[in-house]
Amino acid sequence: MTATSNNQPYQNGYIDVSDQHSLYFELYGNPKGIPVLFLHGGPGAGFSDKDKQFFDEERYNVIFFDQRGSSQSKPFGSIENNTTQYLIDDINKILNHLGFESVYVFGGSWGSTLALVYAIHSPARVKGLILRGIWLANRYGLDHYMNGGIKHFFPDVWERFAKLVPEGENPVSYYLTQMLSDDEELSEKYAYEWAYYEMSFYTINKIADPAESLKSFSFKSMAILEAHYIKNDCFLPEDFIMNNIDKIAHIKTSIVQGRYDFICPPAQAFRLHSQLKNSELHITIAGHSSTDEENKKALISELERITTEDK
């Protein structure tokens, strides 16, 4: 197939990365274009056609894939052999399978984490980084998101989320246990409430009903895998990214950060930029969502700038 304006890939299918996991991928755009790897957030959210709006289909050759357990990858929602280290290995397997030696890496939220960790492990394969909504996967970020930091800004949203957890229980562990239950109704309820929590403060735009947002992506795999990763500190030593920042100091990096991002607080983006000498920081009047208007404009502009300057 040839890519067209209706977001169709020119190649798609599955890549077996282990005996258990098979990852869904799409190649989109110009087969001879500038190579870009798109890393979705969550973990577990998967990619969707709306993620293609950042890429000029004549200019870029974009790899999209659903990470282990996410969206169209198989098995759905699986946490078995699902760690950051496995995801890093998967990226190399995908690049090798599809014949890409090196790529620009484009990721937001958890996608920014995975992009940074991948670059630390495989700097020779990363031509540049375009990041949005920085998540450093450290105690600061985890505590803000899941240990009550949100209640200072959205007390009503936090109350709805927390009231389903018995007193004395850890919210992340409790939600994960319920989501992995064989009781399908119970599992769906807790997955829905986890995703509803995030969608309630995802964008700077007023959300009339967060439930509407949940219809557009695989919220259950996101809920399960987010809880799994957060429970395990994202399978990274504390401050792994910042402690290894010197390994990617030479990689040209653009950081787009919403001033009103309540999921990934701007302090993390400022900290990353302060230690990453070859980076530019763009603060937008936006929330966490990549499609908040200023985030979208900045991401498109910065991708073009970085890929043009390297020519």
Spatial separation of the C-alpha atoms in residues 295 and 297, rounded to whole Å: 6
* Termini Cα distance of the chain: 28
Which candidate in 90, 261, 282, 292 is catalytic? Answer: 261
Q: Residue 67 has what DSSP assignment?
A: P
Classified as helix, coil or strand, 49 is helix
Annotation says 250 is catalytic:
no
Kindly report each contact of residues 13-18 with a partner whose C-beta sits within 8 Å and lies 24 or more positions away, as own/partner.
14/73, 14/74, 15/65, 15/93, 15/94, 15/97, 17/68, 17/86, 17/89, 17/90, 17/93, 17/94, 18/81, 18/86
Question: Exactly one of 109, 200, 279, 290 is catalytic; which is it?
Answer: 109
CA distances from 95 to 100, 110, 186 (A): 5, 20, 39
- Catalytic pick from 78, 254, 288, 292? 288
- Cβ neighbours of 250 (radius 10 Å): 11
Give yes or no for a contact between 221 and 76, defined as CB atoms under 8 angstroms apart.
yes
Q: Report the alpha-carbon distance of residue 171 to residue 166 in Å, rounded.
A: 9
Q: Is 261 a catalytic residue?
A: yes
Q: Is the separation of the CB atoms in 219 and 195 below 8 Å?
A: yes
Q: Which residues are catalytic?
A: 109, 261, 288
